[in-house]
Structure 1
């Protein structure tokens, strides 16, 4: 479905609801978490209604809103499916069995699985086994690198891996395009992060490579809820179906997983639909308020200095670190298309952009996915991982502690290397 044409120059003030919503998502949990958790649906609805009213009552053009609703339905169907299916799989590992080598291998596995379960699904699946694996020796560093690798960087090879890439898929980016064009950035960033983690682990634990004493290594590796692997396979296959069959199969797999998973597996995972409800409300507002930005930014990309892949990488990345990386990706994808004379982000224009100016899409994709790990608010799983770790007794750094103790000295130099080598 193509985006219906809009007036050539929407007023700049139509961006206000979009900016306010992204600002609220970034600052609300930091300034007043309890108040934000009570009122975020109202914020999303009110700001979305403001934009919708402009299109319906002033422009008398419902087309962009209908298009946004269609993309929102596809987006939520995938997110819900992966979240529910991952929540139905429980992995147990020996408690206290982590060594530098095992921990590094576990994070590498998590970075791969993020491309199948999504970063949120992989985080739900693996964070508690990760903490149990390091029982008695877990530190904030373990949780931060889990956020880096499993919650963000790992998921850049498939549209299922991270919400920005799935939005790109809905816009017209071919399914296997990320795997074919982002693997170098993924391999470099993942490899460097794993190497740094291993060195820090060895330094922290000395030269010891033996497991912790047997008395601390309770339990064995086991996977419960294996039926969900089948549901995951059907969900992956559904992505190749046209809409609305794709969404119907995804929803059916989520429902089948929810009812087929034994209650004790959900309890072991502390499974809750609350994070999914938050995503549903907030992205309903985002998809509506983003419509003006998708028309305005393409026309002003050169004026903003967005003329090179490096510029798109850093601008997309910096905004992804402080805003939500999914709408940031779509906004700059539209800007790149506009820069090259492609008009609006229609499926044909997006496909042409990946073919003729693919390096710009690479820059936007890597910036959105990788920089989501720079702060707690850059990507959805980050706060959830932090909350689970704190519930388990890990004293996690605050917003600025995370940024200046870990993200800036460890992650940022690696992102510079990726930009230099890939772009």
Structure 2
């Protein structure tokens, strides 16, 4: 691992060996579903929690310092409150589609999904839209329909707000202002989404032309949409309102861990679950499995990444300076490891080079103001390259699972990369990096 090359020179810093639980957990997340799927499916909670307890024991018994653990617990609860509430609430909205969509309608649908991802998160948007996406293309759906949905809705689309993608929310929790990403990244978002949509439209037009004309005309003429569970729009509004509570309220906590916004989000999720008709949940095949998996894995991630963040923010180790280097390095790791801790690790490293601490909101705000190109590069690299493989971002595997269950077999792990992410996504992201990151936009 790249992180293992870092050697701290401060006695207060944890030893390099304490990076091992973090590295092991990320490698397990990346490789276990491929090579030991049955074991991982049944035992991933034990692995994640056990590795987290190794780090916990180090800080309790060796460092005798509870503060990093307390800080991690607070961030974890805030993180899960947002991800969990959006998952539950979006699972209470059902969209049913009848008829076959044209390439224009498909392209518009993906664009709407890209915008929506910034309001209900890439996970929420993916879970809400993947089933109607499959139904509206049921007569001609292919691998590229599933893959471009992952590219646009599950990843690239959620780059405009901290709600959009977990890496950006971690930055928001550390002190990046809510509208900073929108202000600095909208041009890169627009370019990336536009290029992906153009390529998709070309592919889909060719696919649509293969359908016999009499079937094509009949199906597109009978297009019909039905929405249910719309009361959940109210609960989505509650979650968004919680993000914008006054700073004095946001800083108020229960037991130093449960912030007021987090409690409001949890309450909105509970209200959504019990005010949604069971038939809607059944139509969505709703269950808590995906969010439970995220919850267990991120317990381990938030605990084991404490030593990595402390070492990185010491300012030593990584010989990375330019925004382009941060864009591609953050992106390369985000494609194969979870993009949320990757974002935070490189943010800590970049801030450490400026003798700033990622644990200080004031330092984070100063870094965002004085070193915007670096933060833009890290943000874009983490969010955009999360689509590089199925393991780059949480929604990717969720979408694949739903597609497989619907008998729409998504490409295998290697086929996804060999046929789509490397020949199609990577060149687009290189163009975006060259135009937006290198030029300083």
Q: Same fold by TM-score, threshold 0.5 exceeded? A: yes
| 1:299 CA drift (Å) | 3.2
Q: Does residue 151 of the first structure (1) align with residue 162 of the second (2)?
A: no
Aligned with 1:221: secondary structure?
Answer: strand
Asked whether the 8 Å contact 2:347–2:358 carries over to 1, the reply is no
Cα distance, 1:307 vs. partner? 0.6
State the partner residue of 2:84.
80
The C-alpha deviation readout for 1:58-91, integer Å capped at 9, x for no partner, is 0100100000000001000001110001000001
Deviation, structure 1 residue 207: 9.1
- 1:12 and 2:27 are equivalent in the alignment: no
**What's the counterpart of residue 321 of structure 2?**
307
| Whole-Å separation in 2 of the counterparts to 1:182 and 1:220 | 35
- The change in CA–CA distance for 1:392 and 1:207 in structure 2 (over 3 A counts) is closer
**Structure 1 residue corresponding to 2:25, chosen from 13, 21, 27:** 21
Partner of 2:106: 103
Counterpart residue number, 2:343:
329
Match of 2:5 in 1: none
Pairing partner for 1:119 from 109, 119, 122: 122
User: Is 1:372 aligned to residue 386 of structure 2?
Assistant: yes
Relative distance call for 1:344 and 1:180 in structure 2 (3 A) is closer
Kindly indicate whether residue 55 of structure 2 is the aligned counterpart of residue 40 of structure 1.
no
Structure 2 partner of 1:400 = 414
Cα distance in 1 between the residues matched to 2:98 and 2:352: 53
Q: Distance in 2 between matches of 1:66 and 1:155?
A: 29
Question: Equivalent residue of 1:160, what SS?
Answer: coil
Question: So what's the TM-score if we normalise by structure 2?
Answer: 0.91
Distance 2:96 2:416 in 1: 28
Matched, 1:254 2:269: yes
Residue ranges of structure 1 left out of the alignment (5+ in a row):
1-5
Maintained 8 Å contact 1:87/1:269 = yes
Moved more, 330-339 or 389-398: 389-398
Shift of 1:349: 1.1
Q: How big is the shift at 1:210? A: 9.4
Q: Which moved more, 1:6-15 or 1:103-112?
A: 6-15
Distance 1:198 1:341 in 2: 47
Does 2:238 align with 1:234?
Answer: yes
> For the Cα contact (< 8 Å) 2:96–2:227, is it kept in 1?
yes
Are 1:117 and 1:161, in contact at CA under 8 Å, matched by a contact in 2? yes
Using the TM superposition, give the Cα deviation of residue 216 of structure 1 relative to its aligned residue in structure 2, in angstroms: 7.9
Note the C-alpha offset of 1:10.
Answer: 2.3
State the shift of 1:387 in Å. 1.1
Instruction: Determine the C-alpha separation between the residues in 2 that align with 1:257 and 1:330.
Output: 31
Residue 205 of structure 2 corresponds to 202
Query: In structure 2, which of residues 282, 294, 306 is the aligned counterpart of residue 279 of structure 1?
Result: 294
Give the secondary-structure state (helix, strand or coil) at the position aligned to 1:355. Answer: helix
Q: 1:12-36: CA deviations, max 9, x gaps?
A: 1110000000000111111122210
Question: Please, what is the CA RMSD of the aligned residues?
Answer: 1.7
Name the SS of the counterpart of 1:372 in structure 2: helix
Whole-angstrom distance in 1 between the partners of 2:307 and 2:11: 10
Alpha carbons 1:93, 1:133 under 8 Å: kept:
yes
C-alpha distance in structure 2 between counterparts of 1:206 and 1:152, whole Å: 28
C-alpha contact 1:337 1:345 (8 A) present in aligned 2? no
* Distance in 1 (alpha carbons) for counterparts of 2:311 and 2:215: 57
1:172 maps onto 2:175 in alignment: yes
- The whole-number CA distance in structure 2 between the counterparts of 1:375 and 1:278 is 18
Offset, 1:206: 3.3
Q: 1:393: Cα distance to partner?
A: 1.5
Q: Counterpart of 1:3? A: none
What displacement does 1:205 show?
A: 2.9
The 10-residue stretch of structure 1 (251-260 or 202-211) with the greater mean CA deviation from structure 2: 202-211
- TM (normalized to structure 1)? 0.95
Distance 1:114 1:341 in 2: 34
Q: Distance in 1 between matches of 2:128 and 2:388?
A: 22
* Contact 2:315 2:351 (C-alpha < 8 Å) held by counterparts: no
Quote the offset at 1:8 in angstroms: 4.2
